[in-house]
Chains A and B, each alone.
Chain A
Amino acid sequence: MTASAGKDGFVLFDHVQKSYDGQTLVVKDLNLSIAQGEFLTMLGPSGSGKTTCLMMLAGFETATHGQILLDGRNINDVPPHKRGIGMVFQNYALFPHMTVGENLSFPLEVRGLGKAEREARIMRALDMVQMARFRDRRPAQLSGGQQQRIALARALVFDPKLVLMDEPLGALDKQLREHMQYEIKALHERLGVTVVYVTHDQGEALTMSDRIAVFNDGRIQQLATPSQLYEQPENSFVAGFIGENNALAGTIERLDGQTALVRLANGELIDAAPVNIREVGQQTLVSIRPERIEFKPENMPPDVHTVEAEVIEVIYMGDIFRARMKVAGSDDFVMKFRNTMGQTRLSPGQKIRVGWHPQDARALDPV
């Protein structure tokens, strides 16, 4: 949460459930509190329920059970046009038969604002996204990035307290997408508006959000800041979904407070930090980020267990090397190491020993 975040519970999902067919739940018991001014991202694979949650918040879907509160008011029965929520759609949804100016004027007209007031607000919103000179163009005459900006301006022009964004950058190319991420983030910080952002792109989520709610199977798997999410995933799904991850299966051999000793399938022992592990003998998946793996003994903590690794391939990626290795029987164990002056070059077939700081290996429940 940034300093701009105000009171908690501005948006509140209270035991919300959603079913489309009466047979299965798309959203299973959702509880989520979003603070005013917060940038919260709902991240998850498709079908995880994140877009359904957004649509319930916008009013296009009704909750099957539970309450959604906006600024302390139950909005379950409030129709979408009375919620005062700005929304940016995946395909921008700019009205094709209207010019940019008319698109922006629309929300102001339906609110009955006078012409002078409308003009002032339209100009302010267009200036905000640096698109003032395109006001008389039709959406079809704009590039994807420009349309994106107009959609953003239109969602903000009536000063909503809450803006929802449904994969707004999905249709842009990589370079433009990254650029728009910073712009949206900057706008959010300048305006102090609350943003609920839906994406399946974890990079996007990590860059922009104050907090991220990782959705899977209709539940929030973890709600945390980007760094917590990446460095301290609470379960195997989050560990696997966010960033690149190595998962080693094994059983807990010894458990004492902050450290655990895990025996892998081939009998080797490794050190790990127990996360949701309760007892010795339990099955576990140990999650280690590729960039936290060391292969030079001088960089490892003393007395740490190491495992044997056979290099299968090394890919040169400019700033880093990415080595795929065979560890404990599986051959998709990845290690990343920086391309520094005098860095040791590895070659396929080479046998090395790898290890890591016990805090970087998180022993999680098996999926």
Chain B
Amino acid sequence: MATPLDPHAAIVAEASGLPPAAPLTTADGQPLARALNRSRRKARRQALLLVLPLLAFVVITFILPIGQMLHRSVYNPGFADNMPRISAWFAENPRGTDPDEAAWAALAADLTEAAEARTIGIVGTRMNYDVPGTRSLFTSTGRQVRGGLEPPYREALLEIDGKWASPELWAAMRTGATAYTANFYLASMDLTRDNDGNITEAPKERQVYGMLFMRTFWLSALITGMTFLLGFPVAHLLATLPTRKSNLLMILVLLPFWTSLLVRTTAWIVLLQQQGVVNDIMVWLGIIGDGQRLQMIYNQTGTIIAMTHILLPFMILPLYSVMRTINPSYVRAARSLGATSWTAFRRIYFPQTLPGLGAGALLVFILAVGYYITPALVGGSSGQLISNMIAMHMTETLNWSMAAALAALLLAGVLILYWVYDRLVGIDNLKLG
């Protein structure tokens, strides 16, 4: 190798040498690999036992719920389970068939039965997802069919409410007749099915999710950028100051971490609202007039400021842990080799912080994409993110399938980003601390 003068070169050559051709055996003739496996088996079993509680915990509290949630995004039996006869009719007759008397009879029978079993509300809710305003149609019809209907059923139902003839409703019922559906995903992407079952764009006034996804990713990227700009110098200071001072600074960085998220967000409200501290100071200093108080909260600005602050430690800590390991002699060496301090930073120091920067950016971005409380409190209407929409579907409209579909899309987006990051930077270059 290197030079015959270098005794280390020989050792390096030996270590990188080719493996011997014949498989090795132990002294009594067993294959070495098998003997090695056996000797390690006990340690491996003990290790497994140690992680078993955590594994069970993760499976029960994380993997199962997420799986169930994902399942819910494509599975909603609200209609199919409670309206078996009309569902059967849809299965027998292809799309485009006009509902005949048999269909109307099946519908009437199902409605009567559902009304008696008090499941008509569930059916109506399910239909309401696809055709807004239909829940009341089902519940009011349900109240009137309790006593039973007389044939001809078409006329009988139309007499109760003319909306029963709507082709849109029948198309929605056909979709609902199969418990498995991709409609929630379509809706999440601002798409819908027309009455013939073709995928089309949703009406303009109902296209909200695409814009919200864009806003969520854009704001998350912006917040990631802001945490980088603000956090990089702080991390550098932390890594280079003498221990006593850097410990103090570290406490200042961590202090927000130890404070409740709610308290921190409320503090920002106090600071940023129109009658708040920042506006008061600016008015007092004469920067702005009393009538021109800035709207800094309950909009996107508020979301950006509060989230940047809250997520800052997630950028600073990985950066700090990487910067601390960068020997100052690298920059000194670069300077002695003729680099200005800016060149030394750009070409020598900064590239070495990339693993920390990558980890910090990924952490902040992923956390920001799923952030809920802060935008809900300070976001107003223009600062709402996709997670607020998911929460709304979970708690207000009770359309869990929709919430699940939105969440699944969000998860897919994050996974794609993770994959891209892995391809570009390499996940093994990540340093979390």
B and A form one assembly: yes
Interface residues of A (CB under 8 A from B): 58-60, 79-87, 89-91, 93, 95-97, 106-107, 110-111, 130-131, 133-134, 143-146, 154-155, 158, 164, 175-176, 179, 183
Q: Of A84, A107, A154, A176, which is within 8 A of B8 by CB?
A: A176
| B7 CB contacts on chain A under 8 angstroms | 145, 175-176, 179
Determine the distance from Cα of A91 to Cα of B330 in the docked complex, in whole angstroms: 10
13 other A-B residue contacts (CB within 8 Å) besides A84-B338, A87-B337, A93-B333: A60-B332, A60-B335, A81-B338, A81-B339, A89-B329, A93-B330, A110-B340, A130-B3, A145-B2, A158-B337, A158-B338, A176-B7, A179-B7
- CB of B330 within 8 A of CB of A95, answer yes
Indicate whether B30 reaches chain A with its CB closer than 8 angstroms: no
Q: Of B2, B327, B335, B348, which is within 8 A of A81 by CB?
A: B335
Determine the distance from Cα of A263 to Cα of B312 in the docked complex, in whole angstroms: 75
| A93 CB contacts on chain B under 8 angstroms | 327, 329-330, 332-333
> Which one of A58, A96, A144, A164 has the greatest number of beta carbons of chain B within 10 Å?
A96
| B8 CB contacts on chain A under 8 angstroms | 143-146, 176
| A81 CB contacts on chain B under 8 angstroms | 335-341, 344
Given the interface pairs A91-B329, A143-B9, A143-B11, the reply to whether A106 lies near B336 with Cβ below 8 Å is no
User: A233 to chain B: closest CB distance in Å?
Assistant: 34
- CB of A145 within 8 A of CB of B351, answer no
Determine the distance from Cα of A211 to Cα of B222 in the docked complex, in whole angstroms: 60
> Which one of A93, A130, A179 has the greatest number of beta carbons of chain B within 10 Å?
A93
| B337 CB contacts on chain A under 8 angstroms | 81, 86-87, 106-107, 110, 154-155, 158
Determine the distance from Cα of A144 to Cα of B5 in the docked complex, in whole angstroms: 14
Leading 9 A-B pairs by shortest Cβ distance: A107-B337, A93-B333, A143-B8, A87-B336, A93-B329, A80-B335, A130-B3, A110-B339, A145-B8
Name the CB-closest residue of B to A151: B333
Given the interface pairs A60-B332, A130-B3, A143-B9, the reply to whether A107 lies near B338 with Cβ below 8 Å is yes
A-facing residues in B315-339 (Cβ within 8 Å): 327, 329-330, 332-339
Interface residues of B (CB under 8 A from A): 2-3, 5-9, 11-12, 327, 329-330, 332-341, 343-344, 347-348, 351-352
30 A-B pairs whose Cβ atoms sit less than 8 Å apart in the complex: A59-B336, A79-B335, A80-B336, A81-B344, A85-B336, A86-B337, A87-B332, A91-B327, A93-B329, A93-B330, A97-B351, A106-B337, A106-B347, A110-B343, A130-B2, A130-B3, A143-B11, A143-B12, A144-B8, A145-B7, A145-B8, A145-B9, A146-B2, A158-B337, A175-B7, A176-B6, A176-B7, A176-B8, A179-B5, A183-B5
| A91 CB contacts on chain B under 8 angstroms | 327, 329
Name the CB-closest residue of B to A83: B336
- CB of A86 within 8 A of CB of B336, answer yes
Determine the distance from Cα of A106 to Cα of B339 in the docked complex, in whole angstroms: 8
- CB of A96 within 8 A of CB of B340, answer no
| A107 CB contacts on chain B under 8 angstroms | 337-339
Determine the distance from Cα of A183 to Cα of B6 in the docked complex, in whole angstroms: 11
| A83 CB contacts on chain B under 8 angstroms | 336
User: A312 to chain B: closest CB distance in Å?
Assistant: 37
> Which one of A79, A95, A133, A155 has the greatest number of beta carbons of chain B within 10 Å?
A95
Q: Of A58, A97, A131, A145, which is within 8 A of B336 by CB?
A: A58
| B335 CB contacts on chain A under 8 angstroms | 59-60, 79-81
Determine the distance from Cα of A154 to Cα of B348 in the docked complex, in whole angstroms: 15
- CB of B338 within 8 A of CB of A145, answer no
| B352 CB contacts on chain A under 8 angstroms | 96-97
Determine the distance from Cα of A107 to Cα of B348 in the docked complex, in whole angstroms: 12
| A164 CB contacts on chain B under 8 angstroms | 336
- CB of B339 within 8 A of CB of A145, answer no
| A146 CB contacts on chain B under 8 angstroms | 2, 6, 8-9
Determine the distance from Cα of A78 to Cα of B249 in the docked complex, in whole angstroms: 33
User: B26 to chain A: closest CB distance in Å?
Assistant: 33
| B347 CB contacts on chain A under 8 angstroms | 106
User: B6 to chain A: closest CB distance in Å?
Assistant: 5
Name the CB-closest residue of A to B4: A130
Name the CB-closest residue of B to A97: B351
Determine the distance from Cα of A179 to Cα of B9 in the docked complex, in whole angstroms: 13
User: B326 to chain A: closest CB distance in Å?
Assistant: 9
Determine the distance from Cα of A108 to Cα of B333 in the docked complex, in whole angstroms: 14
Determine the distance from Cα of A60 to Cα of B12 in the docked complex, in whole angstroms: 36
Determine the distance from Cα of A60 to Cα of B333 in the docked complex, in whole angstroms: 10
Name the CB-closest residue of A to B2: A146
Q: Of A89, A134, A176, which is within 8 A of B333 by CB?
A: A89
Determine the distance from Cα of A86 to Cα of B344 in the docked complex, in whole angstroms: 16
| B6 CB contacts on chain A under 8 angstroms | 143, 145-146, 176, 179
Name the CB-closest residue of B to A111: B338
Determine the distance from Cα of A44 to Cα of B375 in the docked complex, in whole angstroms: 63
- CB of B333 within 8 A of CB of A131, answer no
Name the CB-closest residue of B to A157: B337
> Which one of B5, B329, B336, B348 has the greatest number of beta carbons of chain A within 10 Å?
B336
Determine the distance from Cα of A175 to Cα of B347 in the docked complex, in whole angstroms: 35
Determine the distance from Cα of A97 to Cα of B322 in the docked complex, in whole angstroms: 14
Determine the distance from Cα of A175 to Cα of B9 in the docked complex, in whole angstroms: 13
User: B358 to chain A: closest CB distance in Å?
Assistant: 13
